[in-house]
């Protein structure tokens, strides 16, 4: 195992400890939905969004605790979107990462409520950052910290909502019903459905660490590139990957008559676009003083993954 892989594994473990510390206790009359919430969050995954958030925070010199509730909140939002996406009325998926999906285990009504509860609990959790910011300098209201928590909440809500991730899911559902999807529409879907939460993760890391408005804007651009490249690579792998590598049937996009970056622009152009986007993302990171080597390697590993 390479140094990077070992480091990744340790970081994922640390992040899962942080997330677990914010999950609700499974008790009371509402126990079954809390179990469904925790089952969904603890289903594993790359923990990519909280990792990008934390690494960006460190890059900008952040050393506090107020990042932690935001890391957990981000993973809760990502998870709720998967729980609702898997519902029979949506994608109707019975398995995710080799485990039964939430509605299969807990029933559809509880899965709807668990998704709602996770989204709500994400905000409930992120708001705890105010208390942490106050504890930091208990003798006075730490105005700068409070303002950056408020700004982070704003970014979280915006990027997760109808003008962010949910907007992308909406457009995706419409697109499935159409015969023809334009490149503009496809980029809209990728930008919102996938890139928006990655943008929010890296922006919140920067904001909480005290980055300037201009720096936050640059990080947003970097994250957009990462998100879009990640998604185009997904389209590429559906054509070039093997079923064994991906753990899911290949060519499923073509079979489902789904229009992707590859069907619209061709394989070569798609690869070039991934290259261009990732190059630009890394260049933005290099402009920031501080050690961005892990973050750069992380971005490369995401974009040039083979599974």
Torsions phi, psi for 100 (to 5 deg) = -65, 140
Site for a second copy in 101-130 (CB under 8 A): 108-110, 112-113, 115-117, 119-121, 123-124, 127, 130
Number of residues forming the site for a second copy (CB under 8 A):
55
Of 37 and 281, the one with the shorter C-beta distance to a second copy is 37
The binding track of 45-74 with respect to a second copy, each residue x by CB under 8 A or -, is ------------------------------
185 binds a second copy (CB under 8 A): yes
DSSP the chain: --HHHHHHHHHHHHHHHHHHHHSPPS-STTHHHHHHHHHHHTT----HHHHHHHHHHHHTT--SSTHHHHHHHHHHHHHHHHHHHTSTTTT--SEETTEE-HHHHH-HHHHHHHHHHHHHHHHHHHTHHHHHHHHHSTTS--HHHHHHHHHHHHHHHHHHSTTTHHHHHHHHHHHHT-S---HHHHHHHIIIIIIHHHHHHHHHHHHHTT--HHHHHHHHHHHHHHHHHHHHHHHHHHHHS-HHHHTS-TTHHHHTT---HHHHH-HHHHHHHHHHHHHHHHHHHHTSSS--HHHHHHHHHHHT---
Which one among 8, 19, 34, 200 touches a second copy, defined by CB under 8 A? 34
Closest CA to 199 of 290, 281, 286: 281
Q: Site map for a second copy, 143-172, x if CB under 8 A?
A: x--xx-xx--xx--xx-xxxx--xxxxxx-
> By CB under 8 A, which span of 42-50, 86-94, 195-203, 223-231 interacts with a second copy?
86-94
95 binds a second copy, rule: CB under 8 A: no
Q: Candidates 173, 266, 275, 276: give the one binding a second copy (CB under 8 A).
A: 173
Output 88 or 266, the one with its CB closest to a second copy.
88
Residues 197-236 that bind a second copy (CB under 8 A): none
- Does 100 engage in binding with a second copy (CB under 8 A)? no
Query: For a second copy, which is the closer residue by CB, 174 or 279?
Result: 174
Shortest Å distance, C-beta 145 to a second copy? 11
Under the rule (CB under 8 A), what is the footprint of a second copy? Answer: 24, 28-30, 32-34, 37, 80, 84, 87-90, 108-110, 112-113, 115-117, 119-121, 123-124, 127, 130, 141, 143, 146-147, 149-150, 153-154, 157-158, 160-163, 166-171, 173-174, 185, 188-189, 192
């Amino acid at each position: 195992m390479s140094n990077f892989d070992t480091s990744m594994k340790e970081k994922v473990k640390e992040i899962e400890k942080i997330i677990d510390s914010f999950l609700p206790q499974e008790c009371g009359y509402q126990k079954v939905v809390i179990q469904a919430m925790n089952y969904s969050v603890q289903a594993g995954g790359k923990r990519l969004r909280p990792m990008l958030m934390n690494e960006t925070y460190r890059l900008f010199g952040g050393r506090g605790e107020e990042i932690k509730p935001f890391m957990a909140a981000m993973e809760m939002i990502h998870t709720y979107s998967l729980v609702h996406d898997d519902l029979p009325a949506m994608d109707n998926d019975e398995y995710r990462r080799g485990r039964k999906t939430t509605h299969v285990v807990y029933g559809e009504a509880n899965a709807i409520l668990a998704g709602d509860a996770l989204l709500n609990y994400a905000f409930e959790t992120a708001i705890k950052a105010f208390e942490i910011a106050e504890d930091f300098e208990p003798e006075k209201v730490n105005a700068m910290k409070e303002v950056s928590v408020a700004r982070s909440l704003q970014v979280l809500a915006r990027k997760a909502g109808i003008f962010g991730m949910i907007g992308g899911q909406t457009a995706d559902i419409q697109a499935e019903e159409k015969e023809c999807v334009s490149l503009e529409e496809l980029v809209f879907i990728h930008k919102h459905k996938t890139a928006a939460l990655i943008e929010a993760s890296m922006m919140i890391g920067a904001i909480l660490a005290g980055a300037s408005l201009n720096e936050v804007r640059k990080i947003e651009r970097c994250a957009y590139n990462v998100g879009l490249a990640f998604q185009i690579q997904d389209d590429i792998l559906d054509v070039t990957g093997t079923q064994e590598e991906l753990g899911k049937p290949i060519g499923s996009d073509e079979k489902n008559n789904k229009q992707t970056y590859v069907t619209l622009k061709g394989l070569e152009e798609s690869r070039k676009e991934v290259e261009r986007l990732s190059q630009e993302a890394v260049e933005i990171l290099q402009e920031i003083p501080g050690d961005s080597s892990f973050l750069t390697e992380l971005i490369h590993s995401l974009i040039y993954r083979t599974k």
